[in-house]
Amino acid sequence: MRGVVVVGSYTYVPAPRHSAAAANGTLTKGGLSVPLRVTEPLFREFLEGLSRLEADLSRRWVATQTNSAISGAE
């Protein structure tokens, strides 16, 4: 996962991957930011997992639609 991610009404800005241990990502809403000191690694892992799930579901959806179109033509 790279860059800014919008999660509902929140915006997650991750710390750079190779940044110092003191650098933290932030969660922002309505112009207010909260540094994610303790939870950033967990939040990043969660969002990466969601991204993998989304990619897998998208791939399966396309495969289902392609198979449906072929089945209907027979």
pLDDT per 10-residue tile (average), the chain, 74 residues: 81 78 82 84 84 91 76 54
Q: Output the pLDDT for position 69.
A: 62
Residues near 40 by beta carbon (within 8 Å), at least 6 away in sequence: 14, 15, 24, 25
Q: Output the pLDDT for position 64.
A: 81
Q: Output the pLDDT for position 15.
A: 81
Tally the domains of the chain: 1
The pTM for the full model equals 0.55
* Alpha carbon distances (Å) from 45 to 29, 42, 51: 21, 5, 10
**Containing domain of residue 69, as a range?**
5-73
